[in-house]
Structure formats: structure tokens, C-alpha cells
Amino acid sequence: MPLIEDPEIDKSTEAYKLAEQFYQNIGYNYIPNGVLAHMIVPEIGKAALNLMFAVLEHASRVPVDLKMLIANMTSYAVGCTYCQTNTHEATKNLSTDNEKLNNMWEYKTNPIFSDAERVALDIALAASASPSAVTDELRNNLKQYFGQAECAEIMATISVFSYFQKWNDTNGTQLEDHVISLVEKELLGTEHLNKEKYQTLKP
């Protein structure tokens, strides 16, 4: 049972309107449960959403496709099943090519990944460990391919999705019905999804 369950939401708040507009822009006809739970304290919801918008919506130096791969990698590394499933769906809406998403765990050897993408995913995976496993070698590898502003965007992507992972895992946020349908179709047979935990998040 979630900590925040069926929250009473004031749809007139700026936070709710921000969420509604953002998800409409990326093709959603709903606001995810993990975001709706933030609306119980609109100031927190607004701050979290503005950070996410800054990472995903502005004129990005780092391709959004790579940012979403990073988001997926961190979700699996942290073990947040809600985030794994919802980030998978978001990637399908935001990315222009899902081949890399489908082959994410082969990123070190699969030729469809560039060396720049490999080092970005390396640091995302290391940063998601607790304690962090990021080393000077990983930092130097990243700086070979990305400038300082691009490194900032990569770190922000890791950090903002880590925030939502902690939020949803702690809350026990339940999956939306249509996300369950997506999981049953695309993710349930994969080795990386925690099937036992997935069952606990179904309404």
C-alpha cells in the first residue's frame, strides 16, 4: 500500500497544470501516479517537475535519446520497478529509435552504440551504485567525448531520475493499468525486471 494513496489534488495549482501540459506534449493522456503523488504538496511537485523539464525539454546539448537510455539504466541499477516500467514507456514516446532501448544491456559490445554512448552509460551505471562507483577513470572517459555543459546535463539526468526512483520506491507507487499491459507485452519475460516486486505494485 502506497504512503500517498489516492491523494486529493487541486487541479488549479501551477504544479498540476505544469504536469498536465508536459505529459500532453509527449503524447500522454494521463499524469503518472508517481507525479500525481507529488501534488499533495504543490511546491514539491512544481520544483520536481521544473527540474525534469530543465533536463528533458530545453534545447539539449545531449540527445534526448541518450538521456532516456541513461534514465533506463539508472532505474534498473537502483532497482525501482515502477521507474523501470514507466521510464520504458516514456522512452518509447520521447525517443526516435527504440533499437538501443531494446538492446541496452549489450551496450558495451553491440555496434549500434557509439563510444560516447558507452561511456555515458558506464558512468550512469556506476553513479547508481550505493556508494557511488564513479572513478576518475570514468570521469576522464566521459570528458573525452563531452564538454562541461554536456557533462552537467548527463549528471542532471542521472540525478533527477534518481530522485524519482527514490520517491517511487519509498512511496510504493502503484502501476497504471496501461503500463501493466505494456509490461505484460514487452518486459515481463526479460531477465532484468524484478517480477516479484512487479506483482506488489499492481493495483
Domain boundaries along the sequence of the chain: 62-200
Alpha carbon separation from 188 to 56, 79, 146, 147 (Å, rounded): 27, 15, 35, 38
Residue showing cell 538492446: 103
Query: Is residue 142 within 8 Å of residue 119, measured between CB atoms?
Result: yes
Residue showing cell 494513496: 5
- pLDDT given for residue 152 in this prediction: 96
Q: How far apart are CA 151 and CA 120, in angstroms?
A: 9
Q: What is the pLDDT of residues 156-165, one digit of tens each?
A: 999 999 999 9
Q: How far apart are CA 52 and CA 19, in angstroms?
A: 10
Domain formed by 62-200, architecture? Up-down Bundle (1.20)
- Extract the residue ranges of the chain whose pLDDT is less than 50: none
- pLDDT given for residue 200 in this prediction: 80
Residue 7: partners with Cβ closer than 8 Å, 6 or more residues away? 36, 37, 39, 40
Q: What is the pLDDT of residues 126-174, one digit of tens each?
A: 999 989 999 999 999 999 999 999 999 999 999 999 999 999 999 999 9
Angle at 33 between CA 161 and CA 171, to 5 degrees: 70
- pLDDT given for residue 69 in this prediction: 94
- pLDDT given for residue 197 in this prediction: 77
Alpha carbon separation from 1 to 47, 79, 172, 202 (Å, rounded): 26, 18, 7, 10
- pLDDT given for residue 191 in this prediction: 65
Alpha carbon separation from 98 to 49, 94, 102, 113, 171 (Å, rounded): 25, 10, 6, 12, 29
